[in-house]
């Protein structure tokens, strides 16, 4: 469909990004009432007069949510406003019980921060600074389920079901300033920014940051301008971008779509677009040309937020290590080559490897399990590694068993597979599958003698000094012992048996 | 018995000369007799009230320690939610809705053993000054059934004046407690904003709304004030400080050495002669009781009405957005294939009355992009200036006073088609809401030209509510000794047995 290549686009245009990330906080209760926030409960069981907007009910701010937001602001190098206010954003929609959203408008709680992200470029790793305009608090809406009709959208549906469990869940919105100067790396920078934010938020412990469950959602604003121009082009805002990979695809796709229009002399329409996971393309949502007027005004039911300076300093002192610094530290501690480090980050196993190492495993062994066999199984099942039923504790146990000679690498792979298949802990898998290393030299010798008599010609070659021929015999012994023998010990005993020094 | 004060009824209950069930039944009987003429109530909760009364009697029989108003009946304005009892706010859009929860005011009343007789009529969503904007028909002033009982809380004030209840709860956004009190010859208090929880008070204008006590005497009002006031963690705007000692102030009624500031701008042109006459006489009585009368000026009050009619509609346009037919109340046009949007539109079209729609439109316009600064923004600045006027004046006096309303009760229908004339009735009460301070209206006689009650307004600084009770009690005592009997004894009998 695209006549233009990405190279065509970037040879003529400079992309300008703007990223808005919504984060659901992991507080126990909602933003303005005491209802539970647990994901996946029966519809409308986590509601009360406040989050259902019954007449007369009033909001009360969740202190923990304010604390989390300040932590986020501090981690993003923002200033914390000594005085900020909530505002009402007015618009009608059935899944918004009050028909206004309590948000923050011209007085957000955190302003003017930045995040540095590093990506691989043709000239090696390069750092980009993403400036943060604001971080503010708001509440989530309920969910609509449109039944009937082909699109799953409200138009054409037979009826709609409303679930208000999500209504009032605390949300934090993180908005960047415009991000120019990323050139052809715009898609990677966008992805790296969201990944960095996710890591920071996870390190802070303020959110589950699960993009697939919607606890971290990214809206990507993209515009193009001719290279050398300092006038901003018209932007589109792509919503519904539910994975890191999609962030990159959405930005790239929009750059191409804009360029195609601009090349044809058409205008880019300022609008909301929805990312389509299957095609990687976006489709038009509502146009922003008939811009909705949200009639913002200060929320009269809530008093201003005025965090005291001491509290802010206490929170600042409690900030965890910045993820980028932590990565540098771990890379040094573990002596990991750049490429391997990048692979770990890309596969999102850094935390798992670190946890495994902290449980006593050798860093190289831990890394090779997570990046190797476990990644392979995840790919095979088409899931993310974190979705597999194997923990750092399991891997540490397996690494330890191998080190003690209780398992061979091959047997260990079987144990990993068993754990992932839900057969229990490594110990349980070993017991139920009857896996054990044959390290009884007598049993091994019996097998060796049997194989040597069956393949006497090969045995004779080895006896005459042609050591490489031993490989076939070792293989046969391993087969004989159903793979439960330690291959090194088999080699040692076999060569001894045939009068050759094992070395 | 039903003509006694609540304090007297409480005494009879405590001494065992009457039971709460008997007292409650007497009021239910009175309602049955006269409410066909007055129409103060939208809903009478006969069973609930008698049950509550029986519970109080039983508790008393067990020797439990009870609050000072335990067993005394009360009329509740239909803008406060009471669990399982219909709450309409005088609007069709909430017809049939039974709230699943109690407002904090109702919880406190129940906790204190106050018996809730039912819900009283009001201008729809508290928007109005005559109770003519109720979707369920107007309430009539017991002094003259062809006249308005004030608004928005006309049902509560009329219930008091008609002896249907000795106590009532009102809410006051721009005068909705004080103006009805003034025109019915009863007492009404708007406490300091944040003094009484708004949780469960269906919002008209959140930054101005305040629930408060209504009764026939200053002491009864004070007793009820202490029952309903206090910090509530469910209302972020409620003040976390001890409740002012209003009962003590009402009992002592001491004004010796107090400086009473007469607001220059709230008198003179536009005020009915008989209203001014009663007001001047009251000032003399207060001076005789030992107060010093001074004149204070509040130059920005002239902008209060205009600013109020930007702020209140702005907030109401947002507060009333939740009435969308989705979760409760009326639903219109929900036929096969109708969209949610068309059901919302049709429901709001049918469910809201003209005045409510007028204010939603005004507020939507005032908050619109491009108009916000000129309208809502300017109105907030006026609000700050009015607060400064009060601060400057309170530097020179302890309380400020004025007539509560420019006129006595007007005829039903007289101003129904002239909203501006209607709005002007609240010109003296609105500044109090804009500044969030306390205000009281108590009867100071009848106007000589029409024989209708006149209200005397007392204003006190934030969380100094006890001051208005001191002054109100002093004036009430002086007037009573002058009249020899309460003002309401001059009201027509309504043909009831009492």
Distance from CA of B160 to the nearest CA of A (A): 25
Q: How far is CA A107 from CA A134, B255, B377, in A?
A: 10, 46, 15
Residue B497 lies in a domain: no
Beta strands in A177-249 (DSSP E): 216-226, 236-241
Pairwise CA distance, residues A132 & A138, whole Å: 17
Q: What is the mean pLDDT of chain A?
A: 91
Q: List per-residue pLDDT tens for chain B, 498 residues long.
A: 999 999 999 999 999 999 999 999 999 999 999 999 999 999 999 999 999 999 999 999 999 999 999 999 999 999 999 999 999 999 999 999 999 999 999 999 999 999 999 999 999 999 999 999 999 999 999 999 999 999 999 999 999 999 999 999 999 999 999 999 999 999 999 999 999 999 999 999 999 999 999 999 999 999 999 999 999 999 999 999 999 999 999 999 999 999 999 999 998 788 999 999 999 999 999 999 999 999 999 999 999 999 999 999 999 999 999 999 999 999 999 988 788 889 999 999 999 999 999 999 999 999 999 999 999 999 999 999 999 999 999 999 999 999 999 999 999 999 988 888 889 889 999 999 999 999 999 999 999 999 999 999 999 999 999 999 999 999 999 999 999 999 999 999 887 554
Q: Please indicate whether, in this complex, the C-beta atoms of A92 and B321 are within 8 angstroms of each other.
A: yes
Q: A297 vs B376: CB contact, 8 Å cut-off?
A: yes
Helix (H, G, I), strand (E, B) or coil at B35: helix
Structural domain boundaries, residue B216:
6-301+383-490
Please count the other Cβ atoms lying within 10 Å of the Cβ belonging to residue B182.
Answer: 34
Among candidates A58, A90, A160 on the partner chain, residue whose Cβ is nearest the Cβ of B318 = A90
Rounded Cα distance between B330 and B358, Å, is: 20
pLDDT tens column, A69-121: 999 999 999 999 999 999 999 999 889 999 999 999 999 999 999 999 989 89
Size of interface A-B (CB pairs under 8 A): 101
Residue of B nearest to A296 (CA): B367
Question: B498 lies in a domain?
Answer: no
Give A92's contacts in chain B (Cβ within 8 Å): 321, 324, 341, 344
Are A295 and B200 a contacting pair at CB < 8 A?
Answer: no
Query: What is the distance between the alpha carbons of residues B113 and B111, in angstroms, rounded to a whole number?
Result: 5
The reply to whether ipTM tops 0.85 is yes
Highest CATH level, class, for A441-497: mainly alpha
Q: Please tell me what DSSP assigns to residue B377.
A: I
Cα of B81 to nearest chain A Cα, Å: 7
Which of the two residues, A288 and A311, has the higher pLDDT score?
A311
CB B321 to CB A99 under 8 A?
Answer: yes
Interchain contact, B367 vs A90, CB within 8 Å: yes
Contact B457, B441 (CB under 8 A): yes
Q: Give residue for tokens 């989530």.
A: A140
Query: Does the residue B495 lie in any domain?
Result: no
Of B380, B403, B432, the position where a domain reaches its end is B380
Tell me the shortest Cα–Cα distance from A258 to chain B, in angstroms. 30
Classify residue B59: in a domain, yes or no. Answer: yes
Contact A154 B340 (CB under 8 A): yes
Measure the CA dihedral A209/A213/A217/A222, to 10°: 130
Residue of B199, B321, B323 lying closest to A56 (CB–CB): B199
Q: Residue B275: which of B406, B401, B144 has the closest Cα?
A: B406
A161-196 pLDDT, tens digit each: 999 999 999 999 999 999 999 999 999 999 999 999
Among the partner-chain residues B200, B233, B327, the one whose CB lies closest to the CB of A60 is B233
**Given B107, B156, B157, B176, which residue is catalytic?**
B176
Cα dist. A140→A32, A39, A101, B71, B323 in Å? 11, 13, 8, 45, 20
Do B182 and B283 lie in one domain? The reply is yes
Q: Please report residues of B whose CB lies closer than 8 A to that of A58.
A: 198-199, 234-236
Same domain assignment for residues B192 and B327: no
A99 reaches B (C-beta below 8 A) = yes
Q: Does A54 touch chain B (CB under 8 A)?
A: yes
What percent of chain A is predicted at pLDDT more than 70?
96
Which of A58, A91, A148, A299 has the most B C-beta neighbours within 10 Å, making it the best mutation to test the interface with B? A58
In a domain, B450, yes or no: yes
A166 to chain B, closest Cα gap in Å: 16
B322 and A55 within 8 Å at the Cβ level: the answer is yes
In chain A, which residue's Cα lies nearest the Cα of B336?
Answer: A158
Q: From residue A323, how far is each of A77, A117, A327, B8, B385 by CA, in Å?
A: 14, 11, 6, 72, 51
Domain shared by B79 and B180, yes or no: yes
The nearest alpha carbon in chain A to B364 belongs to: A295
Residue B135 and residue B236 in one domain: yes
Same domain for B293 and B341? no
Within an 8 Å CB–CB cutoff, is residue A157 touching chain B? no
Instruction: Please list every residue in chain B whose beta carbon sits closer than 8 Å to the beta carbon of residue A99.
Output: 321-322, 324
Residues B451 and B311 in one domain: no
Beta-ladder partners of A238:
A220, A273
Domain stop point among B356, B380, B404: B380
Tell whether B436 and B357 lie within a shared domain: no
Q: Is B205 a catalytic residue?
A: no
Strand order in the sheet with B167-171: B41-44, B115-120, B73-77, B167-171, B211-215, B187-190, B438-446, B453-460, B399-403, B259-263, B292-296
Question: Is residue A172 within 8 Å of A135, Cβ to Cβ?
Answer: yes
Q: Are residues B374 and B271 in the same domain?
A: no
Asked if A57 has any chain B CB less than 8 Å from its own CB, the reply is yes
Same domain assignment for residues B166 and B236: yes
Shortest distance, CA A222 to any CA of chain B (angstroms): 25
Whole-number pLDDT of residue A437: 75
DSSP letter string over B191-251? PPTTSB--TTB--SSTTT--EEEEESSHHHHHHHHHHHBS--TT-TTS--SPPP-HHHHHH
For an interface test with A, the pick among B322, B336, B369, B371 (most A C-beta atoms closer than 10 Å) comes out as B322
* B199: region left, alpha or beta (phi > 0 left; psi from -120 to 50 alpha): beta
Q: What pLDDT does residue B498 have?
A: 47
Look at phi and psi of residue B253 and say left if phi exceeds 0, alpha if psi is from -120 to 50, else beta: left
- Which residues of chain B does A47 touch, with a Cβ-Cβ cutoff of 8 Å? none
| A88 at interface of B, judged by CB pairs closer than 8 A | yes
B152 in active site: yes
Q: Work out the pLDDT band at A150, boundaries 50, 70, 90.
A: low
Helix or strand run (H / E) with residue B44: strand B41-44
Residue of B357, B443, B369 whose CA lies nearest to B403: B443
Catalytic residue among B20, B77, B91, B415: B77
| Cβ–Cβ below 8 Å for B322 and A160 | no
Q: Which CATH number fits the domain that encloses residue B12? A: 3.90.1300.10
The answer to whether B378 is a known catalytic residue is: no
Where are chain A's structural domains? 6-292, 321-433, 441-497
Nearest to B207 among A59, A293, A300 (CB): A300
Same-domain pairing of B226 and B340:
no
CA dist A40 and B31 (Å) reads 52
Joined tokens for residue B256: 């010796």
CA dist A340 and A370 (Å) reads 12
Q: Quick one: which of B97, B100, B52, B103 has its CA closest to B77?
A: B103
Chain B residues with CB under 8 Å of A62 CB are none
Q: How many domains does chain B have?
A: 2
Put simply, whether A303 touches B (Cβ < 8 Å) is yes
Does A145 contact chain B (CB < 8 Å)?
no
Q: Does A94 touch chain B (CB under 8 A)?
A: yes
Which range (A41-45, A123-127, B171-175) has the least confidence?
Answer: A123-127
For residue B314, the chain A residues in CB contact (below 8 A) are 297
Contacts of B322 in chain A (CB under 8 A): 53, 55, 97-99
Q: Indicate whether B425 and B357 sit together in one domain.
A: no
**Tens-digit pLDDT profile for residues A472-503:** 888 888 888 877 788 888 888 888 888 886 55
Residue B427 belongs to some domain of the structure: yes
Of B80, B81, B340, the CB nearest to A160: B340
Q: Let me know whether B229 and B83 are in one domain.
A: yes
Residues on B contacting A at a C-beta cutoff of 8 Å: 80-81, 87, 89, 94, 97, 99-101, 103, 198-203, 205-207, 233-237, 314-315, 317-318, 321-324, 326-328, 339-341, 344, 364, 367-369, 372, 376
Assess whether the previous peptide bond of B152 is cis (omega < 30° from 0). yes
Q: Does A496 touch chain B (CB under 8 A)?
A: no
* Chain A closest-CA separation from residue B318 CA (Å): 7
Report residue B124: phi and psi, to 5°: -50, 125
């Amino acid at each position: 469909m695209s006549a233009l290549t990405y190279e065509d686009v970037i040879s003529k245009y400079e992309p300008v990004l703007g990223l808005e990330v919504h984060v659901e906080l992991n507080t126990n209760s909602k933003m303005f009432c005491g209802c539970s926030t647990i994901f996946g409960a029966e519809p409308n069981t986590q509601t009360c007069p406040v989050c259902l907007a019954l007449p007369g009910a009033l909001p009360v701010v969740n202190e923990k949510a304010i604390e989390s937001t300040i932590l986020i602001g501090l981690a993003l190098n923002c200033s914390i406003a000594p005085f900020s206010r909530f505002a009402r954003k007015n618009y009608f929609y059935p899944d918004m019980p009050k028909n206004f959203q309590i948000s923050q408008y011209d007085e957000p709680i955190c302003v003017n921060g930045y995040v540095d992200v590093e990506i691989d470029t043709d000239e090696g790793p390069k750092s980009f600074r993403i400036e943060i305009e604001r971080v503010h608090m708001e509440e989530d809406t309920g969910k609509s389920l449109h039944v009937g009709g082909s699109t799953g959208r409200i138009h054409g549906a037979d009826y709609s079901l409303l679930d208000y469990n999500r209504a009032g869940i605390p949300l934090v919105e993180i908005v960047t300033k415009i991000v120019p100067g990323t050139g052809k790396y715009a898609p990677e920078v966008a992805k790296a920014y969201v990944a960095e934010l996710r890591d920071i938020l996870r390190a802070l412990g303020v959110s589950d940051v699960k993009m697939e469950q919607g606890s971290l959602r990214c809206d990507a604003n993209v515009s193009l301008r001719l290279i050398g121009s300092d006038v901003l082009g018209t932007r589109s805002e792509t919503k519904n971008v539910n994975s890191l990979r999609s962030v990159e695809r959405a930005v790239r796709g929009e750059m191409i779509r804009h360029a195609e229009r601009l090349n044809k002399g058409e205008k880019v329409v300022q609008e909301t677009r929805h990312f389509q996971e299957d095609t990687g393309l976006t489709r038009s949502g509502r146009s922003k040309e008939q811009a909705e007027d949200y009639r913002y005004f200060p929320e009269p039911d809530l008093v201003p937020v005025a965090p005291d300076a001491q509290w802010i300093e206490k929170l600042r002192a409690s900030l965890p290590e910045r993820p980028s610094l932590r990565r540098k530290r771990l890379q040094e501690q573990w002596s990991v080559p750049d490429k391997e480090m990048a692979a770990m980050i890309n596969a999102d196993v850094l935390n798992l490897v670190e946890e495994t190492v902290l449980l006593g495993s050798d860093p190289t062994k831990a890394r090779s399990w997570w990046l190797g066999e476990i990644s392979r199984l995840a790919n095979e099942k088409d899931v993310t590694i974190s979705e597999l039923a194997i923990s750092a504790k399991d891997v540490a146990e397996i690494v330890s068993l191998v080190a003690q000679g209780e398992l061979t690498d091959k047997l260990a792979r079987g144990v990993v597979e068993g754990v992932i298949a839900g057969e229990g802990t490594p110990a349980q898998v070993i017991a139920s599958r009857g896996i054990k290393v044959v390290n009884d030299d007598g049993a091994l010798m019996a097998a060796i003698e049997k194989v040597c008599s069956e393949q006497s010609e090969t045995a004779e070659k080895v006896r005459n000094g042609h050591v490489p021929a031993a490989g076939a015999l070792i293989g046969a012994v391993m087969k004989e012992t159903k793979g439960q023998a330690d291959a090194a010990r088999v080699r040692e005993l076999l060569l001894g048996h045939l009068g050759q020094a094992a070395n | 018995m039903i003509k006694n004060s609540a304090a007297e009824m409480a005494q009879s209950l405590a001494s065992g000369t009457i039971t709460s069930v008997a007292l409650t039944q007497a009021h239910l009987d009175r309602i049955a007799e006269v409410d066909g003429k007055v129409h103060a109530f939208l809903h009478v909760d006969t069973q609930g009230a008698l049950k509550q009364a029986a519970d109080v009697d039983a508790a008393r029989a067990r020797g439990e320690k009870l609050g000072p108003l335990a067993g005394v009946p009360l009329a509740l304005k239909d803008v406060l939610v009471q669990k399982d009892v219909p709450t309409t706010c005088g609007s069709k859009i909430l017809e049939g809705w039974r709230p699943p929860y109690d407002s904090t005011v109702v919880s406190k009343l129940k906790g204190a053993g106050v018996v809730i007789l039912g819900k009283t009529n009001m201008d729809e969503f508290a928007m109005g000054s005559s109770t003519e904007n109720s979707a369920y028909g107007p309430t009539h002033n017991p002094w003259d059934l062809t006249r308005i009982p004030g608004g928005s809380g006309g049902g509560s004030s009329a219930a008091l004046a008609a002896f249907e209840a000795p106590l009532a709860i009102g809410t006051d956004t721009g005068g909705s407690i004080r103006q009805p009190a003034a025109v019915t010859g009863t007492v009404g208090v708007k406490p300091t904003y944040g003094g009484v929880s708004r949780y469960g008070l269906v919002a008209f204008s959140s930054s101005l709304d305040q629930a408060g006590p209504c009764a026939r005497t200053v002491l009864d009002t004070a007793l009820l004030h202490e029952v309903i006031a206090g910090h509530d963690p469910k209302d972020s705007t409620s003040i976390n400080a001890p409740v002012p000692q209003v009962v003590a102030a009402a009992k002592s009624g001491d004004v010796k050495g107090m400086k009473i500031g007469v607001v220059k701008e709230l008198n003179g042109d536009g005020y009915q002669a008989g209203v001014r006459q009663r007001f001047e006489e009251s000032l003399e009585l207060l001076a005789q009781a030992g107060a010093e009368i001074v004149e204070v000026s509040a130059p920005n009050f002239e902008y209060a009405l205009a600013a109020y009619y930007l702020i209140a509609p702005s907030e109401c346009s947002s507060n009333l957005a939740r009435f969308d037919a989705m979760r409760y109340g009326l639903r219109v046009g929900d036929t096969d294939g109708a969209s949610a949007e068309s059901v919302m539109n049709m429901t709001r079209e049918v469910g809201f009355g003209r005045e409510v729609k007028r204010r939603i439109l005004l507020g939507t316009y005032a908050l619109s992009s491009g108009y916000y600064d000129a309208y809502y923004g300017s109105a907030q600045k006026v609000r700050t200036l009015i607060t400064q006027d009060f601060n400057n004046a309170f530097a020179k006096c302890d309380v400020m006073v004025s007539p509560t309303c420019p006129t006595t009760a007007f005829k039903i229908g007289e101003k129904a088609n002239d909203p501006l004339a209607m709005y002007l009735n609240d010109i003296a009460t609105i500044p109090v809401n804009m500044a969030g301070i306390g205000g009281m209206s108590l009867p100071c006689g009848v106007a000589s030209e029409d024989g209708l009650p006149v209200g005397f307004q007392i204003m006190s600084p934030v969380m100094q509510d006890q001051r208005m009770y001191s002054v109100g009690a002093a004036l009430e005592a002086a007037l009573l000794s002058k009249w020899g009997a309460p003002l309401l004894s001059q009201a027509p009998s309504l043909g009831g047995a009492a």
